[in-house]
Structure 1
Amino acid sequence: MSNKLTKRAVCILSGGMDSTLSSYIAKNEGYEIIAVHFNYGQRTEKRELKAFRDICNDLQIEEKYEIDIPFFTQIGASALTDASIDVPTGGVEPGVPITYVPFRNGIFLSIATAIAEKEEAQALFIGVVEEDSSGYPDCTDSFISKMTSAINEGTKETTKIEIKTPLVKLMKKDIVKKAIELDVPLKHTWSCYKEEDEACGVCDSCRLRLNGFKEANIIDPIPYKA
């Protein structure tokens, strides 16, 4: 356990571009980072775990948690965790997409809060993006604000945790530009919902990512299927 003068932050780090940039911002703000990654039965679980480990090496993070949450595959209901539901590849549709995992960020934040309380961290970083996301209800400013109230209500009086969402109002092109500015190793990040060797380029997540790079006028360093 670090001394009380050290600022500590728990960073939820999926290995994607947004959570990686969020973690770099935490480091830039002077926090000692405790990284948390979730294996929840997502299609690209192995590839995301590799990204997480690579990024932890890049950031020289010593304290990290790899948490298994098997029940998401048990309940299904999402194309990310249920093999019988196809990941859509036709572009972003209106409404909440089938790739939404029920209350995933609420569950991630709850577990990360338990870790933050144990580690005596003051902040919890999550790379949610409201304006340029896929329409997930658990990525909004309003949701994060209510979760902040709930976690501080339900933890010890001495525990004071701020949920920090540095990217929540950014567009994908701004995220790409900010990542380049902070020298984030984007080649180590993974965003594809479907594939683990070469990104598919057509799922919602790939489309958002590719469009962000295009609008930022920067070449995406990860491999895509032809």
Structure 2
Amino acid sequence: MKKAVCILSGGMDSTLASYIAKNEGYEIIAVHFNYGQRTEKRELKAFRDICKDLNIKEKYEIDIPFFVQIGASALTDKNIDVPVDGIETGVPITYVPFRNGIFLSIATAIAEKENANALYIGVVEEDSSGYPDCTDEFIKSINYTINTGTKNTTNIEIKTPLVHLLKSEIVLKAMQLNVPLELTWSCYKEEEEACGVCDSCRLRLNGFEKANSKDKIPYKVK
């Protein structure tokens, strides 16, 4: 059976990408990163719940402590407040420096070890928060690089099935595939009830609203 490594944060985008991989006939190897993010424990719970629902046998939980050491992001530095007013311009302070590049590099090593030929990541370009490592251009570039830097017998395709979708389209696609979005977690700030006001919560709630659907996870503010 063909294998795919899925980078699975526990958020709705990476979760949908993983269900798409399963729907396309791949045996999934799930990879999750604990990198000192504010909602690390809640995201890990989401990852484990989703792996159980997908009946994933092979999974990796990778710790990357250095993101906390370098700081520079509101997600990993408790001295930087997570924005809640939705008026940031440019690359937001929640951007974690080159996070997806590092994630993809580690996932590539796992894919090469596991003889997987696909690597799924739930990046979204058009309706994302403006992160430079979520673009189609970046993914194409790093896909070339990883195949240049691996064995001649290794041929990995990075698949980004959501990259050009809007959040509402992601919600609709998830509903179509019976993805349990109530198991996912998107909030940047809170682990018990989603804050409802950070950029990630705003994007998620807006996606559900435009899809004429109700988000089942608990919120402090809606």
TM bin, normalised by shorter chain, reads: over 0.9
Q: Partner of 1:59 in structure 2?
A: 54
Instruction: Output one character per residue of 1:94-125: Cα deviation in whole Å (capped at 9) or x when no partner.
Output: 20000000000000000000000000000000
Count of residues in correspondence between the two structures: 221
| Aligned residues of 1:92 and 1:134 also touching (Cα < 8 A) | no
| 2:104 pairs with 1:109 | yes
Residues 196 and 27 (structure 1), Cα distance of their counterparts in 2 relative to 1, 3 Å cut: same
Where structure 2 has 5 or more consecutive residues not aligned to the other structure, the ranges are: none
| Aligned residues of 1:103 and 1:138 also touching (Cα < 8 A) | yes
Within the candidate set 66, 71, 77, 1:76 is matched to 71
The CA deviation at 1:126 is: 0.1
Alignment of 1:88-127 (within 5 A): 88-127=83-122
Identity %: 81
The CA deviation at 1:93 is: 2.0
The CA deviation at 1:215 is: 0.3
Q: Partner of 1:219 in structure 2?
A: 214
Q: Partner of 1:189 in structure 2?
A: 184
| 2:36 pairs with 1:44 | no
RMSD across aligned C-alpha pairs, in angstroms? 0.5
Q: Partner of 1:205 in structure 2?
A: 200
The CA deviation at 1:92 is: 4.5
Q: Structure 1: how far apart are the matches of 2:113 and 2:39?
A: 29
The CA deviation at 1:206 is: 0.1
Q: Structure 2: how far apart are the matches of 1:215 and 1:48?
A: 25
Letter in structure 2 aligned against 1:101? V
Q: Structure 1: how far apart are the matches of 2:208 and 2:8?
A: 21
| Aligned residues of 1:173 and 1:211 also touching (Cα < 8 A) | yes
Alignment of 1:143-154 (within 5 A): 143-154=138-149
Q: Partner of 1:166 in structure 2?
A: 161
Q: Structure 2: how far apart are the matches of 1:212 and 1:48?
A: 20
| 2:135 pairs with 1:132 | no
TM-score using structure 1 length: 0.97
| Aligned residues of 1:37 and 1:52 also touching (Cα < 8 A) | yes
Runs of 4+ in 1 over 4 A off after TM superposition: none
